[in-house]
Amino acid sequence: MNKKALLLITVSVAIVSALASFKFTGQDGPIKNKSAADAGIKIPEGFSATIIADNLGPARHMVVTPNNDIYVHLEGFKNGKGIVVLHDNGDKADVKTSFGNFGGTGIRINNGYLYASSDKAVYRFKLNDKQEVTDPEHPETVVSGLISRRAHKPKAIAFDNEGNLYVNIGAYSNICSEFDPRKKGCPILDSAGAIWKFKTDKINQKQSDGIRFASGLRNVVGLDWNQQDNQLFVMQHGRDALHDLFPKYYTTQQSALLPAECMYALKQGDDAGWPYMYYDDVKHKKILGPEYGGDGEKEADAKYLDPVAAYPGHLAPDGLLFYTGSQFPEKYKNGAFIAFHGSWNRAPEPQAGYFVVFQPFKNGKPDGKWEVFADGFAGTAEETSPGKAEHRPCGLAQGADGSLYVSDDLKGTIYKITYKK
């Protein structure tokens, strides 16, 4: 085994170990509510933030019904269940029930069903006219047998308006350590590193029944359907270890800041270029990966998809939401909120992220510079690292009244952000 292969394995193990350290440890306790002053986050003037629930477990994605029920999907389990149902009473949320014998990330409501994903499957629960689950013990299996190996296992989901379900199947590698120069391409792209499309009106589908909708995507956790543009938008987690693997091409500082975390607008057949390239948001160019002949300067093939927006490296975008409500000021209408989970590998630069940003949009496309919308989840500056952070934002949801909800998958805190004129 050569040194690069050994280092690849070492880096992969470190990444998996780092992610594993954020698993739920089984803490228990009552739901708390805190005033906006105690929520501990910084938001723009005119907005208020309240902690409406706490100590839920590893709260990933969530969805809010018109009756102010909140379905929160946990990465692990709370009292043996993977989905917690809250009811938002305004300044606090009470636990109504919990169900589901699987943990995971993705959760959505579509056409009379609550859909939720494990790391290997997508299930659905029938809803009544109050959007309450009618039979929590017997979900239907929509898709099973999804690839889930080593790393990047979460299956985030989204829907279009034509009866299709989109599922992220993350690449189980940093830069395709399975690559063999004697063969053409990265072999895992046949089954991972892509967004798959399935039908919503069929059950018991396998991965082979779906369509590889768009490929070359290392890992996507934040994704949402843009109604204004009628298109799927995703946030990709960029690659790691540029300096560790290629110190002759990259300084430690370059490796800390590169590559960009990218927003892509996808159409069927698009290829975002992983693992062969990455996007440099300093040069504003697609750069050929060093594993495939690059040196930090050579540009990648123009055939690969350009991002529609780019953000600093290693911030881990885990939530994406297009805001369609009317409660917030007009500038936010149809723009995108992005929850950045926070970095673990930006040394010697300070660790960063742990915030929610707003990306302005116009006519269905990013328009203008992104801005930090909600910050301070991690705590003090000294706590902005995975081992010390107090909270890490992950999921985003919009309430019927236009309120914005943010989940924290470290301590299971749910924040509610509102605006009053």
Give the pLDDT confidence of 273-326 residue by residue, as tens digits.
Answer: 999 999 999 999 999 999 999 999 999 999 999 999 999 999 999 999 999 999
Rounded CA separation 27/123 (Å): 27
pLDDT at 180: 66
Q: What pTM does this model have? A: 0.90
User: How far, CA to CA in Å, does 285 sit from each of 67, 191, 251?
Assistant: 46, 28, 18
Q: Which residue has 């938001």 as its token pair?
A: 43
User: How far, CA to CA in Å, does 20 sit from each of 28, 73, 152, 410?
Assistant: 20, 17, 11, 12
CATH of the domain at 351: 2.120.10.30
Task: From 289, 140, 109, select the one nearest 204 (Cα to Cα).
Answer: 140
Rounded CA separation 133/397 (Å): 19
Provide mean pLDDT across the span 5-29: 37
pLDDT digits (tens, 9 = 90+) for 75-115: 999 999 999 999 999 889 999 999 999 999 999 999 999 99
Q: Domain tally for the chain?
A: 1
Inform me whether the pLDDT recorded for 140 exceeds 70: yes
- Domain with 159, as residue range(s), is 3-419
Neighbours of 135 (CB within 10 A): 10
Provide mean pLDDT across the span 9-29: 36
Residue 187 token pair:
């072999």
pLDDT digits (tens, 9 = 90+) for 341-376: 988 778 777 788 899 999 999 999 999 999 999 999
For all residues of the chain together, what is the average pLDDT?
Answer: 89
Inform me whether the pLDDT recorded for 386 exceeds 90: no
Percent of the chain predicted with pLDDT > 70: 88
